[in-house]
Homo-oligomer: A and B are copies of this chain.
Amino acid sequence: MLQNDLILRAARGEEVERIPVWLMRQAGRILPEYREVRAKAKNFIEFVKNPEMAAEVTIQPVDILGVDAAIIFSDILVIPEAMGLPYQMIESKGPHFEKTIQTANDIDELHISSGEELKYVTDAITLAKKGLNGRVPLIGFCGAPWTLFAYMVEGSGSKTFSKAKKFLYTHPDLSHKLLEKIALSSINYLKAQIAAGADMLQIFDSWAGVLGKEQYLEFSLKYISMICDGIGQQVPVTVFAKDAHFAIGDIAKLKCNTIGLDWTMDPQVCRTLAGNKTLQGNADPCMLYADEKTIETEAKKMIAAFGKQRYIANLGHGLYPDTDKNKVKYFVDCIRGL
């Protein structure tokens, strides 16, 4: 039994007595306690693959920041790896795939993950659930198929993802084949996360914003929809498509509960577009560089704009690594009304 199920009730549209709050990228980076654990692993991939370490840093922000949910510490690119496409995380540069997807044969060689290859994540979930001991819900997650596709074809991060988009334009059929394989893998993966104890799920479409609306509906939302349908409605699901201002109304039609918003989105406009879905977001992570007075003002403005019900307070993107942990805690406290 959960002692604090605010976020689950907010996601389901049930009444809450206080706005729940958590922060994307809360598990890590800004916390010295995280960096201490991180230092014990040889590299990022090894860190992600270690269930004990992953569970430990998952729980840290609950104790340190007082957030209303934990999110399992992992990486969206574990799915490509489980499908047979390994990657490296290069310090201060980001992910890098030595081999990328370029041909039909490359796609044929990938297999659909059963979720079994990702036992290190589900083990971490089991451990984290044990460590949390019902204090707050645990969020599981995966990357949206388009975002994973973008990395798998491009080979690394990019401002434009023009290589990945070129593949959509020049090989639409192959693109669909790859996206479907990713989506099916993600369904198995998320089902395994639920079985391991995840109380809620979030699908991250980090590179939604590089696509126009038509391409977004065809190559991204279709597969997010497939995932939402595929996992059933066992636990609440959040879809966060960064910079997809053009797709909020379409996301609202999915079998999901919550829509994540970045800081360029207007709360009132989104309320109209999102129907009865719960909204999550959307403070600018850079705002946490400001002084406490500004943070308080902005936090109050945000919660006034979204209202208390059907709302989960969060940032509009992950925390930046050089954010002062005390400022982050101050923000969380402001939302909690402390």
A residues within 8 Å of B by Cβ?
157, 159-160, 162, 165-166, 168-170, 209, 211-213, 215, 243, 245-246, 263-266, 284-287, 289-291, 294, 316-317, 320
Contact = CB atoms under 8 A, between A and B. Distances in A.
Leading 10 A-B pairs by shortest Cβ distance: A165-B286, A169-B290, A166-B289, A212-B263, A245-B245, A169-B289, A162-B320, A212-B284, A246-B264, A162-B286
Contact of A266 (B168, B213, B266, B285): B213
A332 to B, nearest CB: 18
B243 A243 contact: yes
A212 B245 CA distance: 12
Give the copy number.
Answer: 2
Which of A160, A166, A212 has the most chain B CB within a 10 Å cutoff?
A212
14 contacts: A159-B159, A160-B286, A160-B317, A162-B285, A165-B289, A169-B294, A170-B289, A209-B209, A209-B264, A243-B243, A243-B264, A245-B245, A245-B264, A246-B265
A243 B209 contact: yes
Given A162-B286, A320-B162, A212 B264 contact: yes
Nearest to A157: B159
A286 B245 CA distance: 20
Which of A211, A215, A286 has the most chain B CB within a 10 Å cutoff?
A286
A264 B169 CA distance: 16
A166 B246 contact: no
Contacts of A160: 286, 317, 320
A320 B245 CA distance: 24
Contacts of A243: 209, 243, 264
A323 to B, nearest CB: 9
